[in-house]
Amino acid sequence: MPASTIDHAFTARSMTGSAGDPTYAGALSFMRRRYTKNVKGADAIVWGIPFDAAVTNRPGARFGPQAIRRAAAIFDNDPQYPFHRDLFADLVVVDYGDCLLDTGNHQKTPGKIERDAAKLLKSGAFLVSLGGDHFVTWPLLKAHAARHGKLALVQFDAHQDTWFDDGKRIDHGSFVARAVRDGVIDPERSIQVGIRTHAPDDFGIRILHGYAVEEMKAADIAKAIVARTGGAKTYVTFDIDCLDPAFAPGTGTPVAGGPSSAKILSVLRQLGDLDMVGADIVEVAPAYDHADITAIAGATVAQHYLGLLAEKKARLR
């Protein structure tokens, strides 16, 4: 246990190392990482995008970044499960705060997110974005593709998000179709996990439907993901409604028949061979949550992203 501290997000003297804040107190950055606009030397940046004007059902995901940060306080200062290590012993992670958006002019939103993301990516750090509704993944994909080229997409979701749009709509249900049409993602290297709805077109993306996921072992799901991406640069997007509403009630468009948080977190744990270049967790809407169930699940997804990065850094040393 490190020496007792408080408000580590502001008082930390080092960019590495765990915090000592009580779980119930202190500044609520993501996993107590330092709040800063200086990303020099960072291995990873956590960034909130509080936007939910694209939802087609219940709003509220604009409060997702706050809820996820609050839930991240549950991670204590022991080695992080299931990685059995202090994730921040060598991994430099900062919390950059949130994207500032003009709430009166949503047409400016995608460009603002893309430009801000591109600026952060220039640092060379890995970007973990906290949504926000799933529309925010569209400008994030564009920013990552501008840096890495056409991407493989791994999408954990109850919905395909492949509905047609005119390229101008602010809609969280069409970003995948747009990404395929605009050459941002490679459908032959992309996979969707947990889908429990139907859309007009799959664009050649492989789908592991909800009932199939229920029958498969976590290890087999992970193998299917790694095989599908084929070593390509990969962006991982996690819509919290991939999980069954029993495990994630706090979301805008819940769909029954989904997997447990334990199963999908086990899948994430086994994606160490994925060439992951960016990731997000979206659609956490705390107004519909109970006892922070959904927020805790969302925070744990983001924690797993960082755990995989910490292991990768350790392997490359």
Task: Tokens for 280, please give them.
Answer: 């997000």
CA terminus-to-terminus distance, the chain: 26
Domain chopping of the chain, boundaries: 8-316
DSSP state letter for 112: H
Q: Which helix (H) or strand (E) holds 195?
A: strand 191-195
Q: What percent of the chain has pLDDT over 90?
A: 86
129-176, pLDDT tens digit by residue?
A: 999 999 999 999 999 999 999 999 999 999 999 998 888 888 888 999
* Structure-token match 């889908």, residue found: 195
pTM, two decimals, is: 0.96
Higher pLDDT, 139 or 12: 139
The residue among 278, 279, 271 whose CA lies nearest residue 312 is 271
Residues 179-237: pLDDT tens digits? 999 999 999 999 999 999 999 999 999 999 999 999 999 999 999 999 999 999 999 99
Q: What is the pLDDT of residues 23-54, one digit of tens each?
A: 889 999 999 999 999 999 999 999 999 999 99
Architecture of the domain spanning 8-316: 3-Layer(aba) Sandwich (3.40)
Neighbours of 308 (CB within 10 A): 23
For residue 49, with 0-12 CB atoms within 10 Å meaning exposed, 13-18 middle and 19 or more buried, which class applies? buried
